[in-house]
Amino acid sequence: MELINKIPDGPLDQKWTKYKNTARLVNPANKRNIDVIVVGTGLAGASAAASLAEMGYKVKALCFQDSPRRAHSIAAQGGINAAKNYMNDGDSTYRLFYDTIKGGDYRSREANVYRLAEVSANIIDQCVAQGVPFARDYGGLLDNRSFGGTQVSRTFYAKGQTGQQLLLGAYSAMSRQIGKGNITLLNRHEMLDVVVIDGKARGIIARNLVTGAIERHSAHAVALCTGGYGNVFFLSTNAMGSNVTAAWRAHKRGALMANPCFTQIHPTCIPVSGDHQSKLTLMSESLRNDGRIWVPKFKEDAEAIRAKKLKPTDLAEDRRDYYLERRYPAFGNLVPRDVASRAAKERCDAGFGVNATGEAVYLDFASSFERYGKQQATVKGLHNATHDEIIAMGKKVVEQKYGNLFQMYEQIVAENPYETPMMIYPAVHYTMGGLWVDYELMTTIKGCYACGEANFSDHGANRLGASALMQGLADGYFVLPYTIGNYLADEISTGKISTDAPEFVAAEDNVRKQIESLFNNNGTVPVDHFHRKLGKIIWDYCGMARSEEGLKFAISEIQKIREDFFKNARIPGVQNGMNPELEKAMRVADFIDLGELMCKDALERNESCGGHFREEYQTEEGEALRVDDVYNYVAAWEFTGNPSAPILNKEPLVYDNIKVQSRSYK
Amino acid sequence: MTTLKYNHVVINNNMENGMNLTLKVWRQANAEAQGQMTEYKLGNVSPDMSFLEMMDVLNDGLIRKGEDPVTFDHDCREGICGMCSMFINGEAHGPNRGVTTCQLHMRSFKDGDTIYIEPWRSAGFPVIKDLMVDRSAFDRIQQAGGFVSVNTSGRTLDANAIPVPKADADKAFDAATCIGCGACVATCPNGSAMLFVGAKVSQFALLPQGHPERHDRVENMVKQMDAEGFGNCSNIGACEVKCPKSISIENIARMNREYMAANLKG
């Protein structure tokens, strides 16, 4: 298949303007007769649904949750990047663009990333106008903080709940349009197929999760804003319901899946506590502004700590290894996520882990307590303050900055992080890969778009912190509303699309058959059993480190899991009513197929870049070794009917404006 | 009138390890069906499990026995999406303060405990199945006025054009942290949703961006709240205590003031 990315000609900084000036428009009277389906109501979906409805299109919005406000964007903690340069620290559109391309290890598209940086400032204006309560300083202006992989402060935030506030902003914009009748909300609905007629997306098949009814919905365009597929690992920081099903079903209908092996493992999450674990909890990257990461320097100390014979606070400074500061003096604890995660794994694999399972490192705030405490003592003129008084003052400052995160940690771990360092370990957090889209965010199915984490386009092989929120809102508020018209201009005389077309009948039939076969297999084993097994295989062989041998093994194991799943999974309950186990089963079936594709993609990419680390390809110092002359492309996979035999298509990546270099944070 | 019938189901009853619990769980097939409490004996519960992970273990056992697992709402499992909604031993989100059910851990219980688990009970939140209720009334209240009428074109003022005093911004933020879980309604003897509505009204009343529509907003949201069948506030204050985000009832007072101002203006 030939991949046409539709990137406009001309200088980088004029491409988007030029595109907007020449894209076709749909007049207001015609918009009223055009239906658009938006699947998912996270930042990308809610902002897209609100914007399209304001423009005059008739929108149907679906979410599997009980309310659009629950989408997992709500859980994003740290912040949102924007090239406002309010801090006057040298930030600019170009720098945000450059940091994002470099952070992504030179595996993303220049034109898409530049556009993202360009519209970033608008997002902040928009959100403030909507009443999003960002953090402010005492002068009443907006405050910023710093995130990994950058040397400026461009992250806007609302304590540790930035995602919540941004999503509620988009949800309120969407609610306004629902109230006006411009959006029809279908909550507790799950999309199970895209209906393609004459090569164009013409609607979807969805299941009403309350009644179990299989429904047909037609539209002139479909936008998939369904998030990432991190739950393929079973354990991740994603919500329990986050899934790949909508994207995967579109893939099966002809949308290519790009770079599926590019997954992000976040370095600072709360470690696994036992076999019962159902999900993992993130500790915001912002903590790395003030926390220092370390493990014991000597193995005997690590062993003593694991056996609970030694406390971390008892260990002298010269017996600690602040390994990020040692290896990466320029960025220290604020190296990008992929680098920090691998460094933690390297220390733990070498036997320096600090919890019972040996899979944890310390995130220690002791030096910040002292630094902030001394600052406070100076400000307050307390020159004779004792050490204890200084530490107490410092703890207050840290509490103001991260109080909710410290509290969250204590609830889960039952240890007070003000008294003993936090224990953290990397966990799956985000997926850079996703549906292949062109510059207009259209997939390889005409009229089917993918926005936000569901697409692949902006973060290359590694995403920088606070950029997911930026991309979700950029796509939904400022990109799709412009690009969709260029396609819909041809649809003004199509008229209402009938759901009686044979393609709708066939797609519905297909969904019904799948559900029936899941029910009728006489299995005895709960769905979660297979999901956990799949997740463990992918984590072990397609997680933070991958090898040819391991990936081949994983592929054969996944094929066994698939067979076992369809034979032995038990779906209790009824088809025609609320049935969470059935929902899970359909999602797991798609995760199995996706998992196999991830391993294939990782096996095919004989290099290390960003989150994709192949053990065979590393420098002497253990850093990722890219192979630019061979692998400087987007791997876009085509479904063939057999999930084990996909076809690889390549979109070459062209860098006209940035010099491709080895990424260094040393 | 609901008849109480007790079934006894024993799951994973390994007496040596972990805690042994008796669970009394509300089971209701659908909105029309009559519900009942059902008793389960669950063994081998680790104190490190979250409450919902304990429910996962129960459901795993039920599925293996060929029974229908307990349906409950949950999603993020980190206390922010607002989806989980259990009434545990007579308290919304269980015995602890400032947490959602998903953040509650089994270390808050002890071996041999009997735990009663029920859905939110309120006329405004009909049961869908077992512990899952319909909270779409909250969405409809939001749709009636919980927004600033600004289009999403991005062509607005620069974000720093209107300074907002930090104290106001902080208060607006505190109100805006509401997760819409409905614990306030479930806890209130009047089934009042005024903490939820008050929090949204306050967020916008405290920010300059919300001022142009403040009167219409409060009137429309209160009207919808009443239409949904939620009761009135009689200053009991239980909602504030059981709110997992500790939203202050000051917000109800602010809503009342806004409502009065709107009415005086006519």
Question: CA-CA distance, B27 to A574, in Å (whole number)?
Answer: 15
- Inter-CA distances, A147 with A155, A335, A345, A429, A465, Å: 7, 9, 21, 16, 6
Q: Looking at residue B118, what is its pLDDT?
A: 98
Q: What percent of chain A has pLDDT over 70?
A: 100
Location of structure tokens 């990466």: A328
pLDDT higher than threshold 50 for residue A559: yes
Residue B77 has its nearest CB partner, among A65, A125, A240, at: A240
Q: Looking at residue A6, what is its pLDDT?
A: 98
DSSP letter string over A535-560? HHHHHHHHSSSB-HHHHHHHHHHHHH
- Inter-CA distances, A291 with A160, A413, A422, A514, A637, Å: 15, 18, 9, 49, 41
Q: Looking at residue B131, what is its pLDDT?
A: 98
Q: Looking at residue A157, what is its pLDDT?
A: 93
> Given strand B19-27, what is the order of strands in its sheet?
B8-11, B36-45, B19-27, B114-119, B86-88, B91-92
A98-154 confidence digits (pLDDT tens):
999 999 999 999 999 999 999 999 999 999 999 999 999 999 999 998 888 888 999
Q: Looking at residue B20, what is its pLDDT?
A: 95
Domain ranges of chain A: 271-428, 501-632
Query: Contact A131/B166, CB-based, under 8 Å?
Result: no
DSSP B97: S
* Amino acid identity, position A37: I
Determine how β-strand A35-39 pairs with β-strand A221-224. parallel
Query: pLDDT confidence of B2, banded at 50, 70, 90?
Result: very low
Mean pLDDT of all residues in chain B?
94
A177-200 confidence digits (pLDDT tens):
999 999 999 999 999 999 999 999
User: What number of CA atoms fall less than 13 Å from residue A171's CA on the CB side?
Assistant: 31
Query: Contact A124/B82, CB-based, under 8 Å?
Result: no
SS3 A200: strand
Q: Looking at residue A663, what is its pLDDT?
A: 86
Query: Contact B147/A408, CB-based, under 8 Å?
Result: no
Q: Which two tokens stand for residue A125?
A: 């204006």
- The residue in chain A having the minimum alpha-carbon distance to the alpha carbon of residue B102 is A412
pLDDT higher than threshold 50 for residue A31: yes
Cα pseudo-dihedral B229, B232, B237, B238, rounded to 10: -20
Q: Which residues between 613 and 642 in chain A have a beta carbon less than 8 angstroms from any beta carbon of chain B?
A: none
Query: pLDDT confidence of B7, banded at 50, 70, 90?
Result: low
Q: Looking at residue A665, what is its pLDDT?
A: 83
Alpha helices in A42-161 (DSSP H): 43-55, 93-103, 110-129
pLDDT higher than threshold 60 for residue A211: yes
Angle at A434 between CA A431 and CA A436, to 5 degrees: 150
Determine how β-strand A422-431 pairs with β-strand A361-364. antiparallel
Query: pLDDT confidence of B1, banded at 50, 70, 90?
Result: very low
SS3 A80: strand
Residue B147 has its nearest CB partner, among A142, A175, A477, at: A175
A602-618 confidence digits (pLDDT tens):
999 999 999 999 999 99
- The residue in chain B having the minimum alpha-carbon distance to the alpha carbon of residue A172 is B147
Mean pLDDT of all residues in chain A?
96
| Cβ contacts of B197 on chain A, cutoff 8 Å | none
Is residue A568 less than 8 Å (CB to CB) from chain B?
no
Question: CA-CA distance, A182 to A187, in Å (whole number)?
Answer: 16
Composition of chain A by helix, strand, coil, percent to 5: 45, 15, 40
pLDDT higher than threshold 60 for residue B239: yes
* Amino acid identity, position A309: K
- The residue in chain B having the minimum alpha-carbon distance to the alpha carbon of residue A581 is B69
pLDDT higher than threshold 60 for residue B5: no
What is the distance in angstroms between the CA of the first residue and the CA of the last residue of chain B?
45
Is residue A269 less than 8 Å (CB to CB) from chain B?
no
Please provide residue B208's backbone torsions phi and psi, each rounded to the nearest 5 degrees: -60, -30
| Cβ contacts of B68 on chain A, cutoff 8 Å | 572-573
Query: pLDDT confidence of B154, banded at 50, 70, 90?
Result: confident
- The residue in chain A having the minimum alpha-carbon distance to the alpha carbon of residue B147 is A172
Q: Looking at residue A147, what is its pLDDT?
A: 85
Please provide residue A450's backbone torsions phi and psi, each rounded to the nearest 5 degrees: -135, 130
pLDDT higher than threshold 80 for residue A427: yes
Query: Contact B142/A528, CB-based, under 8 Å?
Result: no
Q: Looking at residue B3, what is its pLDDT?
A: 37
Q: Looking at residue B4, what is its pLDDT?
A: 39
Please provide residue B246's backbone torsions phi and psi, each rounded to the nearest 5 degrees: 50, 45
Location of structure tokens 């876009």: A636
| Cβ contacts of A165 on chain B, cutoff 8 Å | 173, 176
Query: Contact A129/B148, CB-based, under 8 Å?
Result: yes
| Cβ contacts of A524 on chain B, cutoff 8 Å | 64, 66
| Cβ contacts of A141 on chain B, cutoff 8 Å | 160, 163
Q: So what's the ipTM on this one?
A: 0.96
A139-160 confidence digits (pLDDT tens):
999 999 888 888 899 999 998 8
Mean pLDDT value of segment B92-98: 97
CATH of domain A501-632: 1.20.58.100
pLDDT higher than threshold 60 for residue A23: yes
CATH of domain B136-265: 1.10.1060.10
| Cβ contacts of B57 on chain A, cutoff 8 Å | 276
pLDDT higher than threshold 80 for residue B16: no
pLDDT higher than threshold 90 for residue B56: yes
Mean pLDDT value of segment A367-390: 95
Name beta bridge partners: A257.
A435, A637
Q: Looking at residue A401, what is its pLDDT?
A: 81
CATH of B8-129, one of 1.10.10.60, 3.30.70.1520, 3.40.640.10, 3.10.20.30: 3.10.20.30
